[in-house]
Chains A and B, each alone.
Chain A
């Protein structure tokens, strides 16, 4: 048996005696993923920061007309927006029916007026963690800054007090403890992208590692 991906023929060996979980055809499950059910694994690579809402801030700068920093109250004054749906982690679990509350990233970007030359962003955390994203992936209602999970404050180990979510990409792009976005006219690898992970991380194309 063989499959083709990126023009490379991939010979797959059947594993003797392996049947796997019952096949439930779930159109919401990207290839190679499984439903984690109620679990929500934590996979951050750094120490969880002790960050109070009063010490949190979010800045957008780089290729914008008006760089700006929001504090907790200013961010909360923007129109509320929520995401309800699935999230997909590169380590193979997906989680369905999650509910995040916060503000659409569009509302923040509207305030800084991005230059036409901006094509990518580096999203960074208060810990210094980074992830790169095409600007198009964080605009048009596809990305949020969130501080609520399931109607409650977002737990610190999941990125609280506030994190970025970009749920249509693998979740390492959804930077925890979000501190800011810098808009650039080029792509620049973030933390995992510099450690062998894919530049974009689209779960539907199984873009897990560089070269996928």
Chain B
């Protein structure tokens, strides 16, 4: 994956140092640093509420170089006095050739950037973005994927689900998504047979209320594809710690668990 990385001093030794320990999850894809270093002006073209707290924002991004499901971008807002606020956001949409991308943002209490999006933004507004960034949490659709998300942590995972569906992939993909209640479940209408929802505070009649448990995770590991799962975990740190422990306890190899913690 380093062949795309240019501008480094040529290395004298062909072999990279690998620690004498269990190797960390390797990156999935190369990141093109030229495209990732350019700020692009994006125009907001649509606003779509998902839940009372989460809204999807659609942008036209001229020159967007395309992304891999799971990647994120850096977004910035600039005040009249030149003050800049920038945040990382996961991309919700699947890669396509529409020239548009979508982000789904939680409304954060006192959120400087999310607050602007939820109260001020309207179609036609222009903001700046840079990316896509990081090849680590990316899923190019090459291996069976087991996705565990909570709250807005489902956003990069949804890009994978949408990609899987858009390409009509036969490769196994499963999503285990946790939300406080049915009204807080982002993308609720889009889920199909690949998805299992877990509700922590309120659930529809007949559905248990409670945290994700070993019983939710074990069946996926008991009936895994011959080559095993590539696991992706995304959410708050407490969810990520909890979900990754469940995966390890169920037998998922630690070097095949990728974690994106929101913070």
Decide if A and B are genuine partners: yes
Chain A residues within CB distance 8 Å of chain B: 1, 10, 12-21, 23, 32, 34, 39, 41-48, 91-93, 122, 124-130, 157, 179-180, 182, 184-189, 191-192, 194-196, 199, 208-212
Contact across chains for B88 and A47 when beta carbons are under 8 A apart: no
Main secondary structure of the interface of A (DSSP, over half): loop
Question: Which of B36, B77, B126 makes the CB contact (< 8 A) with A196?
Answer: B36
Bound-state CA distance A32–B85 (Å) is 7
Contact across chains for A32 and B24 when beta carbons are under 8 A apart: no
Contact residues in B for A12 (Cβ distance below 8 Å): 39, 78, 82, 84, 128
Contact across chains for B11 and A188 when beta carbons are under 8 A apart: yes
Contact across chains for B126 and A188 when beta carbons are under 8 A apart: no
* B62 proximal to A (CB < 8 A): no
Closest to A33 in B: B86
Q: Render B235-246 as a binary contact track against A, CB cut-off 8 A, 1 for contact.
A: 001001100110
Bound-state CA distance A157–B242 (Å) is 12
Known contacts A14-B78, A46-B254, A127-B22; is-contact A196 B112 (Cβ 8 Å): no
Contact across chains for A130 and B78 when beta carbons are under 8 A apart: no
Contact across chains for A195 and B78 when beta carbons are under 8 A apart: no
Bound-state CA distance A142–B126 (Å) is 42
Kindly provide the distance from the CB of A179 to the nearest chain B CB, expressed in whole angstroms: 6
Question: Which of B9, B21, B77, B126 makes the CB contact (< 8 A) with A20?
Answer: B77
Kindly provide the distance from the CB of B66 to the nearest chain A CB, expressed in whole angstroms: 15
Bound-state CA distance A18–B86 (Å) is 12
Contact across chains for A128 and B86 when beta carbons are under 8 A apart: no
Q: Besides the contacts A47-B259, A191-B24, what 6 more A-B pairs have beta carbons closer than 8 Å?
A: A19-B79, A32-B84, A45-B258, A189-B8, A194-B5, A199-B8
Number of A-B pairs, beta carbon distance below 8 Å: 170
Question: Which of A91, A187, A195 makes the CB contact (< 8 A) with B31?
Answer: A195
Kindly provide the distance from the CB of A141 to the nearest chain B CB, expressed in whole angstroms: 26
In the A-B complex, list the 10 residue pairs whose CB atoms are closest, starting with the nearest: A41-B263, A196-B31, A124-B19, A210-B33, A128-B24, A211-B37, A42-B237, A17-B120, A15-B77, A128-B23
Contact residues in B for A157 (Cβ distance below 8 Å): 237, 241
Contact across chains for A195 and B136 when beta carbons are under 8 A apart: yes
Closest to B110 in A: A21
Bound-state CA distance A194–B28 (Å) is 10
Contact residues in A for B27 (Cβ distance below 8 Å): 191, 194-195
Contact residues in B for A209 (Cβ distance below 8 Å): 33, 36-37, 133
Contact residues in B for A188 (Cβ distance below 8 Å): 11, 13, 16-17
Find the residue from B19, B25, B41, B241 having the highest chain A CB count within 10 A.
Answer: B19
Known contacts A187-B9, A195-B136, A210-B36; is-contact A18 B120 (Cβ 8 Å): yes
Kindly provide the distance from the CB of A62 to the nearest chain B CB, expressed in whole angstroms: 8
Kindly provide the distance from the CB of B194 to the nearest chain A CB, expressed in whole angstroms: 24
What are 28 A-B contacts defined by CB distance under 8 Å?
Answer: A1-B82, A12-B82, A12-B84, A13-B41, A14-B78, A15-B125, A17-B116, A18-B85, A20-B112, A21-B85, A23-B81, A41-B237, A42-B237, A45-B136, A47-B248, A92-B86, A122-B17, A124-B19, A125-B21, A128-B23, A180-B20, A185-B12, A188-B11, A189-B2, A195-B134, A196-B36, A196-B135, A210-B7
Known contacts A16-B125, A43-B261, A44-B261; is-contact A210 B5 (Cβ 8 Å): yes
Contact residues in A for B83 (Cβ distance below 8 Å): 20, 23
Question: Which of B41, B77, B126, B135 makes the CB contact (< 8 A) with A195?
Answer: B135
Contact across chains for A39 and B19 when beta carbons are under 8 A apart: no
Bound-state CA distance A18–B137 (Å) is 31
Kindly provide the distance from the CB of A125 to the nearest chain B CB, expressed in whole angstroms: 7
